[in-house]
Chain A
Amino acid sequence: MNLLRRLLSVLLMAGLILGMPASAWAFCGFYVAKADTSLYNQASQVAIARNGNRTVMTMANDFRGDVKDFAIVVPVPVVLRPEQVNVGKPEILAHLDAFSAPRLVEYFDENPCESRRIFSNELAMPAPTAARDEADRRRGGALGVTVEARFSVGEYDIEILSARESDGLETWLRQNGYRIPPGASPLLQPYIRQGLKFFVAKVNLQEFSRSGSQFLRPLMMAYESPRFMLPIRLGMINARTEQDLIVYLLTPRGRVELTNYRAVNIPSDAEIPVFVKNEFPDFYRSLFQTAYQRENKKVAFLEYAWDMGNCDPCAAEPLTPEELRQAGVFWLTPNEPNRVFITRLHVRYARNTFPEDLMFQETSNQQLFQGRYILRHPYTGEMNCPAGRQYQQALSQRLEREAQTLANLTGWSLQDIRRKISFPKPGTTPSMPWWRTLWPDRH
């Protein structure tokens, strides 16, 4: 432990002496990988920018089937006029995803025999992999239904409906070509009675082919309402399995909290074996699943809470003011200090564990949090000094600790993990003659 601390302090001191390093350096290590939403099969992404009662919601779309089958039904708190709806750029949500994704950082131990020298690192930062935007798919169906507004935006034909009875709404939707699953009516009723309207959208095939785009773009809506919520129940009509939802909440003051579910910080800042670098997506999937099961599947996970102005280490560059505006952040004014705080919540929900829609509140909590996992590469060169021997001894313990941490976080077998770790081979220490590494089979 002491050795580690010394190594770290030397690294930090050297950082100060050498001045600010190149951009590939992050203050506490190299950014090497991230666990973005492309990990999950069924993941929806929603960005909500909110200040006061003003809300801009962006729903990403990962619909991969035939676009003529695509339709969504989303309960909205107010009737939306055409100018309140827009199509967004998928790159913006991908950037939000990349910026806030759980990340892997790595350090390199220096030669314990030359503790004053800093070894430069040759690892380059890989380009962020493109994150795919995911979509919320909701289908619904109507009579006694009023079409409050009907308009087209981009490749979408949109109708805003209000309804008196759920059966009527279900019939109307069916008659108008929305293929909604059976059993939708009982789920539509609570929304009708709460006075919510329904935003329904289909793809206009002519517009879609004219756009030349391969994928459907995200739908954005701007409205004003005291309700700070995200309806998830309609999305559960036809899904029996668990679904992943990533919500990016952008607010001016601080973190956004769920008010009707508990949110738990995803396990973070753990030192794990270096081989995880090659299997980071597997690692994060297992970590999430383990944490999810430990909490009895009833909680949401906080994956990121940060000021949008900076990051440390950066999984992607912060969004520019223009990108933020395109993500729905409407309160930015040029030449004035603008604060945008991002909260990334990851909810894996199923009907029995998340019976209610998600309700949020903004708080002024500015405590930063990130899902961050640390790799420490052991020094592998020759060490011919007492400090080197101490280092080797401490290293074995450290690697064992890392193996146990990894097993605990992911539920992976400790034996398998140990097999993948290169524990220190006897090197130049007196008890371990140097020729053993030359002919390992001879003993």
Chain B
Amino acid sequence: MPSTLFRDARDYQIAFLATFLLLGISNRDWSLRPVFMVVVVATCLGVQLAATLIHPLLTTPVTAPLSINVRSPLITALSLCLLLRADHASTFILAGTLAILSKFWLRSADKHFCNPANFGIIAALLLTNDAWVSPGQWGEDGWYVLLFAGTGGLVLQRVGRWDTTAAFLGAYVLLEAGRNLWLGWEWDVLGHRLMSGSLLLFALFMITDPRSIPNARLGRIVWAIAIALLTFILRNHFFLSTAVFWALFALAPLTVLMDSLWVAPRFSWQAIAQRAMRRSGLMPSLTSEPLR
């Protein structure tokens, strides 16, 4: 339906992530096999479907009507394709399965607190021998930075989570700049460290997942700064090239604490979409927002 397509901010996100994936494969010499992409997408959609059917049976009482979510597993699958690399299809199946299941099983107050793709990546890194992440895969070309910033900004403006990106990037840039100054490197060394496509993709598209991050703005800002700090420590003192993913994974449960400290309404994609439709006159009135 043309009227509803792209009302949901996730449609933009799916379109952008798919574009990045195409760009990466066609333009960046990625070693991602097409068959693995198919495997990841099929796994994520399949597990989402199965879990949607089974989960209500295990959790009583059944409150919400059953609806199959396609957008969320697709975003997870695309994120895994963009970030995760492995030698075997089984690793992608494991990552996709655990990523989707984390949404159903790792919940607190009816909200999942792990970013599914990030959970899948860490699970693959921990549980298999053949998974890796390639932080250098985007290089440092300026136009990628502009592309990511532009598209990411568009999504963030719709979901209203730019504060998280700004807090994360702001804190991280300050920490790295302080280190650069202390070490005495020239400023282009800092520029090179920060112009990493992978870091920007993470800051704009991963830690801004509105469903799994703290609800209140203050909570999000504190949370994002904590992730920046941990990333900085892991990267510079433990020499972990995948520092951002470990930091997000380790601090994801902090969301629960943040939500109890600073209370705010939970994020709902439907509410955002309805607001957009109302603005464009497609929905005349609002009775209630489905804040499930």
Contacts and interface: CB of A to CB of B under 8 A. Distances in A.
Interface in B179-236: 182-186, 188-189, 191-193, 196
B184 A364 contact: no
A254 B239 contact: no
B239 A365 contact: no
B87 A260 contact: no
Contact of B136 (A254, A260, A352): A260
A296 B143 CA distance: 13
Contact of A365 (B87, B182, B188, B241): B87
Contact of A193 (B87, B140, B182): B182
B110 interface: no
Given A226-B238, A228-B239, A260-B193, A193 B132 contact: no
B193 A363 contact: no
Given A259-B135, A355-B189, A194 B183 contact: yes
Given A262-B139, A298-B139, A361-B241, A257 B134 contact: yes
B7 interface: no
B183 A254 contact: no
Contacts of A254: 87
A186 B184 contact: yes
A190 B139 contact: no
B247 interface: no
B165 to A, nearest CB: 22
Contact of B192 (A227, A259, A260): A260
Interface in B122-181: 129-132, 134-141
A166 B183 CA distance: 11
A226 B87 CA distance: 24
A228 B238 CA distance: 11
A205 to B, nearest CB: 36
A262 B183 contact: no
Interface in A328-367: 352, 355-356, 359, 361, 363-367
Interface residues of A, number: 33
Contacts of B186: 355
Given A189-B184, A254-B87, A259-B241, A264 B132 contact: no
Given A227-B239, A363-B85, A265 B140 contact: no
Contact of B132 (A186, A260, A359, A363): A363
Nearest to A367: B31
Contacts of B238: 226
B3 to A, nearest CB: 42
Contact of B185 (A190, A228, A367): A190
A360 B129 CA distance: 18
A367 B183 CA distance: 38
Interface residues of B, number: 32
A265 to B, nearest CB: 5
Prevailing SS type, chain A contact patch:
loop
A6 B63 CA distance: 66
Contacts of A226: 238-239
A365 B31 contact: yes
A395 interface: no
A364 B138 contact: no
A258 interface: yes
B55 interface: no
A263 B140 CA distance: 11
Contacts of B135: 259-260
A253 B238 CA distance: 21
A13 to B, nearest CB: 29
B126 to A, nearest CB: 14
A262 B132 CA distance: 15
Interface string A294-322: 00101100000000000000000000000
B288 to A, nearest CB: 49
B107 interface: no
Contacts of A298: 139-141
A391 interface: no
A5 B207 CA distance: 51
B183 A190 contact: yes
Given A189-B184, A193-B184, A355-B186, A364 B132 contact: yes
Interface string A248-287: 0000011001111111110000000000000000000000
Interface of A: 166, 186, 189-190, 193-194, 226-228, 253-254, 257-265, 296, 298-299, 352, 355-356, 359, 361, 363-367
19 contacts: A189-B184, A194-B183, A226-B238, A228-B239, A253-B129, A257-B136, A258-B136, A259-B241, A260-B192, A260-B196, A262-B28, A263-B29, A298-B140, A299-B139, A352-B188, A359-B241, A363-B85, A366-B87, A367-B31
Which 7 pairs from chain A and chain B are nearest by CB? A262-B139, A363-B132, A364-B130, A190-B183, A259-B241, A189-B184, A226-B239
